[in-house]
Chains A and B, each alone.
Chain A
């Protein structure tokens, strides 16, 4: 079974600064997708960024970018110019070939004004 590990239960960042959230995963599949989701207090899952495993280029989405290291099975999220609205729970997720999502345990991000 696929496992996703987020080793940082909590992180904090000063507003306008940069923060990196870590994620590692374990799989024997060669074709998969990786995601970062944000879950604010409303509990609605919001897609932040996605990465196809076959693409070597790291995905970017405005202030959000990833560092995808396939051989190391590492997939970290960098948030630049952090804003108060970025405060939330962040989940790293692996999507298998069967389309099931497997989530990490989450990182609670606090943005300090």
Chain B
């Protein structure tokens, strides 16, 4: 199956700093990627849809100025958590859509963010 990577896998930062998380589709082009967050023992919640070359679409309740998404190439989307606070600590997962040979999505392994 197709491979999606995330970097870093774990990050610890101080409150007030910004953190960038990368999501890459390694063996296919992805015009669309998705970002989710998952709190401990909870479900994945869709945060935003990232479209290559255009602005991301955010779900209701997600602060677009807080969670900056950039999808500058067909294989890379980045999520930047700006001015991180402890309540932003979570597990962030991306998925990438591969359209050929048929529409399918593949999930990355996730990034654990801890804000001190």
Q: Which residues of A contact B (CB under 8 A)?
A: 37, 42-45, 91, 95, 98-106
Q: Size range of the interface on B? A: 20 to 34
Q: Judging by beta carbons under 8 Å apart, are A105 and B42 in contact?
A: yes
B78: A residues at CB distance < 8 A: none
**Given known A-B contacts A101-B34, A101-B95, A103-B44, A44 and B49 have beta carbons under 8 A apart:** no
Q: Judging by beta carbons under 8 Å apart, are B44 and A91 in contact?
A: yes
CA distance A91 to B93 in the complex (A): 14
Contact of B110 among A44, A91, A101, A106 (CB under 8 A): A44
Task: Tell me the smallest distance from the CB of A33 to a CB of chain B, in Å.
Answer: 9
Q: Which residues of B contact A (CB under 8 A)?
A: 32, 34, 36, 38, 41-46, 49, 91, 93, 95, 97, 103, 105, 107, 109-110
B103: A residues at CB distance < 8 A: 99
B42: A residues at CB distance < 8 A: 105-106
Residue in A closest to B59 when the chains form the complex, CB atoms: A100
**Given known A-B contacts A101-B105, A103-B43, A104-B43, A43 and B49 have beta carbons under 8 A apart:** no
Q: Which residue, of B38, B44, B95, has the highest number of chain A Cβ atoms within 10 A? A: B44
CA distance A43 to B38 in the complex (A): 10
Interface of A is mostly: loop
CA distance A15 to B43 in the complex (A): 26
Q: Judging by beta carbons under 8 Å apart, are A101 and B44 in contact?
A: yes
Selected A-B contacts with CB under 8 Å, 24 pairs: A37-B107, A43-B38, A43-B91, A43-B93, A43-B109, A43-B110, A44-B109, A44-B110, A45-B44, A45-B107, A91-B43, A91-B44, A95-B105, A99-B34, A99-B49, A99-B105, A100-B46, A100-B49, A101-B34, A101-B36, A101-B105, A103-B43, A104-B43, A105-B42
Q: Judging by beta carbons under 8 Å apart, are A102 and B46 in contact?
A: yes
Closest 7 CB pairs of A and B: A45-B107, A103-B43, A103-B44, A43-B110, A105-B43, A44-B109, A100-B46
